[in-house]
Amino acid sequence: MCTNRPIKEDLERILNKAEIGCWVLDLSTNQVNLSHVIKNLQGLPPGYNPDLESSLTLFYDELHRNLLREAIETAVKEGTDFDLELKIRTAGPSRRWVRVTGEPVFEDGSCSRIIGSTQIIDKQKRVEHNLARSEKRFKSLVQNGTDLIAVLDEQLHFSYVSPSVKKILNLTSDSLLHQNAFERLHQDDRDAVKDSVNSIAPFSRLTLEPYRYKDGDGNWRWIQSTVTNLCRDPDVSGFVINSRDVTGEKNEKERLKLLESVITHTTEAVVIVEASPSTHPDRKILYVNDAYCEITGYKRDEVIGNTANLLHGPETDTEELQKLLNAMKAWRPAKVELINYRKNGEPFWMHVSVVPVTNEHGEYTHWISIERDVTERKKYQQELLASLKEKETLLAEVHHRVMNNLAVISGMLHLQATEQDNDELSLKLLDSVARIKTIATIHEQVYRNETLSAVNLAKSIRKLSSDLVAVLNPDSDIRFQYDCDDIHVNINQAVPFSLVVNEIITNAIKHAFEGRERGSIHCVLKRDGNMAELKIKDDGVGLSTGFEQSSGVSFQESVVEMDQERDTRQATGCGLGLQIVSALSKQLRGSFRLRSNGSGAAFCFEFPLER
């Protein structure tokens, strides 16, 4: 037969293991009887039975003490039980959470005592704390995350929408609540999305293909969602949607797809190589398009992992290669043209343009080379150069023959002039000889130039002036000063310009220095933008008073003579020279002025240069 003592001991053992202590507050004595579990927990002596106020000091702080004091007072007055979670002091330095329950006991209509229990609940509080922290983190993630979290009920209406919908779709959570989620879905995507959602088994998850969704501004955004079917979960009762905006990724993917299509189908070879050599002395090829294989004859797997040296051969220009390598070492774009070799050994010309590629951090990651077969262009250029050389040779021969024929004509006129008894006729013939020699001089200069398309006017002035002195007055001491820019014109402008110079210098040599042993002629040729400016000034006797001519005034027939009394040149008779100058000035679309200040004459002439 069992006794009460073993049962009591078993109960105490169970309560002790469960860390549950008992206490009784005797209201008649105001003493609290504590079980040994509570005394052991708080390090109290075995016979310690404190009064109510002393027992309250066993709790952690005044807040917890007041909570228990108020609960006891309410239980006594109103007869209600209480159940509190409080902190107590322990035998060590730590604090522990306990659950304190109390029940008032009434005798003869009044409360005589309160019986209660104290249970250690540290583990439970830790679990609750961790759960609360986890919930807080989850809530923070949902509220502040970049992804859009939403819950749809079984009718696919929004029952929850996270605030991130504002960032993603420029909509508010409240504006979407209870709306059908498919109202803003693009018409072309609705059926596919609905079928996918309906196919998800309970407690299963599916990532949908990107679909279009209308944002608050009326624009279509590409959205990608992962849907979890929690319709059978009573805490959710719907579909949990985790969505993100992939519009940028979608557009970038389309752009890359377009670029890939362009690279794949372009007729120019595209090569991608590593930024810097890794294991090989030269940069390895990482990608080539179809055009590269068509141009070179190599298959893609024969090229990938190889280097550009694959195409080089005996006629490949090493200087061009070094130019390319130097640019790549300095991370500079470069362009070269060189001979490469196809797989069958056939040489061909290739234009190569390389540029470095950087990532978002500005680090060099690759080189891209655009290569084009320019063999036909090179062949055409060579044929064109050969044809041009042939034409230049023919044109040079024409100039040479013209020059020889002019020399024959000039010689015949000179011979006729020397045999004339009429001095006036003889002088006119010699003037014509000078003009013909001027034209011949231009053809000679063109013939001797490396290019047949340009004549240096500065050289023409020097050559003409020295030749005219030698022909017209070889015994004179006429000195020339030059300040001439190198201006190059075609023969269409060179001939009339030289004839103008011939007429002015011829006039000066003949008439400016009569009665003098020496003289000076200053020739200035300058370029001002698209205009050429010529000035020829002598320090001779000058022109007669009032004799100033320009291209804007009709020319009188005049011959410059010496006025012995005033020691100046006068205008009398017929002046063919000025008529020639006027005509040539119009041919060159220029203008001229003829001035005299008593200490010489000055001729100024300007005309536009042809491009």
| pLDDT tens for each residue of 292-317 | 999 999 998 999 989 888 999 999 99
Angle at 515 between CA 510 and CA 519, to 5 degrees: 65
What residue type is 72 in one-letter code?
Answer: I
Amino acid 80: pLDDT? 93
Token couple for 546: 């009032």
Give dist(CA 142, CA 316) in Å, integer.
64
Between CA 191 and CA 182 the distance in angstroms is: 10
CB neighbour class for 494 (10 Å; exposed up to 12, middle 13-18, buried from 19):
buried
Q: Which residues pair with 230 in a beta bridge?
A: 238
Beta strands 158-161 and 148-152 are antiparallel
**Which of these, 347, 327, 325, 329, lies nearest to 338 by C-alpha position?**
347
Which residues touch 205 (CB under 8 Å, ≥6 apart)?
Answer: 226, 227, 228, 229
Can you tell me the distance from the alpha carbon of 431 to that of 433, in angstroms, rounded to the nearest whole number?
5
547's CB contacts (< 8 A; 6+ apart) are 558, 569, 570, 571, 594, 596
Contacts of 112 (CB under 8 A, 6+ apart): 26, 27, 28, 105, 106
Provide CB contacts within 8 A for 341, sequence distance 6+. 311, 312, 313, 316, 347, 348
Q: Which two three-digit tokens encode residue 313? A: 């051969």
The more confident residue out of 190 and 44 is: 190
Q: Specify the range with the lowest mean pLDDT, choosing from 77-81, 225-229, 561-565.
A: 561-565
- Give the pLDDT confidence score for residue 605 in this predicted structure: 93
Residue 181 confidence (pLDDT): 92
Q: In the structure, what pLDDT confidence band is assigned to residue 248 with cuts at 50, 70 and 90? A: confident
Highest mean pLDDT among 221-225, 264-268, 279-283, 415-419: 221-225
Q: How confident is the model at residue 267 (pLDDT cuts 50, 70, 90)?
A: confident
Ranges of beta strands (E only) in 499-590 are: 518-528, 531-538, 549-550, 559-563, 568-572
pLDDT (0 to 100) of residue 531 = 93
pLDDT digits (tens, 9 = 90+) for 505-523: 888 888 888 778 789 999 9
Q: What is the pLDDT of residue 61?
A: 86
CB 519 within 8 A of CB 538: yes
Q: Give the CA distances from residue 176 to residues 48, 154, 342, 466, in Å, rounded to whole numbers and listed in that order.
A: 65, 16, 65, 99
510 close to 609: Cβ distance less than 8 angstroms: no
Give residue 446's pLDDT band: very low, low, confident or very high (50, 70, 90).
low
The residue that leads in pLDDT, 391 or 226, is 226
Confidence of residue 189 (pLDDT cuts 50, 70, 90): very high
- What local confidence, expressed as pLDDT, does residue 46 receive? 83
How high is the pLDDT of residue 159?
92
Q: Which residues contact 495 (CB under 8 A, 6 or more apart)?
A: 439, 442
Are 556 and 571 in contact by the 8 Å Cβ rule? The answer is: yes
Confidence (pLDDT) at 555: 32
**Which of 555, 610, 609, 546 lies closest to 582 in space, CA to CA?**
555
Copy the structure tokens of residue 346. 């056939």
Range of weakest confidence among 98-102, 311-315, 446-450: 446-450
User: For the chain, what percent of residues have pLDDT higher than 90?
Assistant: 36
Measured in degrees and rounded to the nearest 5, phi and psi for residue 571 equal -100, 110
**Is residue 120 predicted with pLDDT exceeding 70?**
yes
Cβ 534 vs Cβ 525: under 8 Å: yes
CB contact at 8 A, 534 and 605: yes
Between the alpha carbon of residue 599 and those of residues 109, 513, 546, 562, the distances in Å are 151, 11, 14, 14
pLDDT, residue 397, reads 60
Q: Kindly report the average pLDDT of the chain as a whole number.
A: 82
pLDDT of residue 453 exceeding 70, the answer is no
Contact 521, 537 (CB under 8 A): yes
pLDDT band at 450 (very low <50, low <70, confident <90, very high): low
Longest dimension (CA), the chain: 182
Residue 208, pLDDT above cutoff 90: yes
- Distance from C-alpha of 489 to C-alpha of 608, rounded to nearest angstrom: 11
- The SS3 call for residue 175 is helix
Structure confidence at residue 578 (pLDDT): 78
DSSP state of 360: T
**Model-level pTM?**
0.40
- Is 97's pLDDT higher than 80? yes
For every residue of 114-153, DSSP letters joined together read EEEEEEE-HHHHHHHHHHHHHHHHHHHHHHH-SSEEEEE-
Please give the pLDDT value at position 394: 58
Give the pLDDT mean for 254-279: 80
pLDDT digits (tens, 9 = 90+) for 31-50: 999 888 888 877 788 888 89
* Residue 214 and residue 220 in contact, taking contact as beta carbons nearer than 8 Å: yes
Confidence (pLDDT) at 550: 45
Given a contact cutoff of 8 angstroms between Cβ atoms, the answer to whether 487 and 521 are in contact is: no
| Separation between Cα atoms, residue 226 and residue 228, nearest integer Å | 7
What residue ranges in 27-127 does DSSP mark as E strands?
Answer: 31-34, 82-89, 95-107, 110-120
Lowest mean pLDDT among 18-27, 564-573, 584-593: 564-573
Instruction: List beta partners, residue 160.
Output: 151
| In the predicted structure, residue 254 carries a pLDDT above the cut 90 | no
Instruction: Note whether 413 and 390 are within 8 A (CB).
Output: no
Distances (CA, A) of 49 to 12, 36, 44, 207, 505: 19, 11, 9, 67, 143
What pLDDT score does 204 carry?
94
pLDDT tens track for 533-585: 999 999 988 875 444 444 433 333 333 333 333 334 433 333 567 788 888 88
Tokens of 82: 């209480």
Structure tokens, 514: 């009569």
Cα–Cα distance measured from residue 506 to residue 577, given in angstroms and rounded to the nearest whole number? 9
SS (H, E, C) 390-427: HHHHHHHHHHHHHHHHHHHHHHHHHHHHHCCCCHHHHH
